[in-house]
């Protein structure tokens, strides 16, 4: 069965960086794009960006460009999201999510990771 298992909660100081991992299983890792979505406490969902695990190509939301880096290691079917220069407003749950790009378009975020809470506090 498809699973996306994320790394554990992190506590970081302002100005630090965080790297969250997402290990995929149960499907061909390189066949699906991996997105990252952020959710601040009690707030809605915010798209961070995606990586194509096949090519390594990325696309980041304008808000995060210059501060986020998405990578992958195909040998262990794992995607990573690193966010730099953390501020208190980066405190949030980060989700990895897969999607398949069909000829007719993207077929939705069909599997989500369990989420990783990143807390930024001095």
List interacting residues with another protein (CB under 8 A). Answer: 35, 37, 44-47, 59, 61-62, 95, 104-110, 112-115
Spatial CB neighbours of 12, under 8 Å, sequence gap ≥ 6: 18, 86, 118, 119, 120, 121
The answer to whether residues 34 and 20 touch, using CB atoms and an 8 Å cutoff, is no
Of residues 10 and 16, the one with the C-beta less far from another protein? 10
The residues pairing with 82 across neighbouring beta strands, listed in sequence order, are: 19, 69
Q: How far is the CB of 62 from another protein (least distance, A)?
A: 7
Of residues 13 and 42, the one with the C-beta less far from another protein? 42
Q: How far is the CB of 16 from another protein (least distance, A)?
A: 26
Q: How far apart are CA 64 and CA 62, in angstroms?
A: 5
Of residues 16 and 111, the one with the C-beta less far from another protein? 111
Q: How far is the CB of 106 from another protein (least distance, A)?
A: 5
119 φ, ψ (degrees, to nearest 5): -110, 125
Q: How far apart are CA 19 and CA 7, in angstroms?
A: 9
Of residues 42 and 122, the one with the C-beta less far from another protein? 42
Q: How far is the CB of 109 from another protein (least distance, A)?
A: 6
């Amino acid at each position: 069965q498809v699973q996306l298992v994320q790394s554990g909660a992190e506590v970081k100081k302002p100005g630090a960086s965080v790297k969250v991992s997402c290990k995929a299983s149960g499907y061909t890792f390189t066949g699906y794009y991996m997105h990252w979505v952020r959710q601040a406490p009690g707030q809605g969902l915010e798209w961070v960006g995606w990586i194509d695990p096949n090519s390594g190509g990325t696309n980041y939301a304008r808000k995060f460009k210059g501060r986020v880096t998405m990578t992958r290691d195909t040998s262990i079917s794992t995607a990573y999201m690193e966010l730099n220069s953390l501020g208190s407003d980066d405190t949030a749950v980060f989700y990895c999510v897969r999607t398949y790009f069909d000829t007719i378009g993207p077929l939705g975020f069909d599997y989500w990771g369990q989420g990783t809470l990143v807390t930024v506090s001095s």
